[in-house]
Amino acid sequence: MEHVGYSSGKVQIVQKLSPRRDDYGMKPSEGSTVIGKSVTIRGELSGNEDLYLDGDMEGTITLTDNALTIGPNARILANIHVKDLVVFGNVKGDLHATGKVEIRGSAVVDGDIYSRRLSIEENASIRGKVNLSQGESGTGVTSPQQETLLLEPKA
């Protein structure tokens, strides 16, 4: 606590709060599966629960009825098919969401985005096309061509 004095003679006690650790909501939601930053996955990832992915992934990700959060340390080279998507890290590949896509300020996305709703924070980087539709997005929209994505080793 800190005392602040004014010229009128009044004194106010001010409690300084520590900065919030989780300003961007990067904490996995309750009940989410967590894949940490030291994990590397190559192949197909699918499931029926929400996922927080902070590691490296190469291949495809399919969580049709669930949410995916890509953490700030993640390097993803995959085409993604999910209900809702939040991106903090690096993604190369097409993003298909039947709900919403949130691209946070630390995110770098290289690929097309197909979704009903899109939110982009300041300082986020996106290279690709955006297709927002009012109907069933992500299910009937396909990307023009798919390429093989290879993950480069960390420096």
| pLDDT tens digits along 75-124 | 999 999 999 999 999 999 999 999 999 999 999 999 999 999 999 999 99
Mean of the pLDDT values across residues 60-78? 96
Q: Is residue 142 part of a domain?
A: no
Q: What is the C-alpha R_g of the chain?
A: 20
List, in order, residues 6 or more apart from 120 with CB less than 8 Å away: 103, 126
Q: How many domains does the chain have?
A: 1
Bridge pairing between strands 95-97 and 75-87: parallel
Average pLDDT for the chain: 81
State residue 139's pLDDT score. 45
Position 47 in a domain: yes
Q: Is residue 115 part of a domain?
A: yes
Q: Cα–Cα distances in Å, from 127 out to 15, 68, 92, 103, 130? A: 44, 20, 9, 12, 9
**Is residue 138 included in any domain, yes or no?**
no
> Phi first, then psi: what are they for 39, rounded to 5°?
-95, 135
Asked if pLDDT for residue 3 goes beyond 90, the answer is no
What is the rounded distance in angstroms from the CA atom of residue 88 to the CA atom of residue 82? 16
Is the pTM here over 0.85, yes or no?
no
- Residue 144 domain-assigned? no
Q: Which residues pair with 147 in a beta bridge?
A: none
Residue 141 lies in a domain: no
In the prediction, which pLDDT does 133 show? Answer: 86
First-last CA distance in the chain:
45
Of 148 and 115, more confident: 115
Mean pLDDT of 49-71: 96
Confirm whether 55 is domain-assigned.
Answer: yes
Residues of the domain holding 125: 27-132
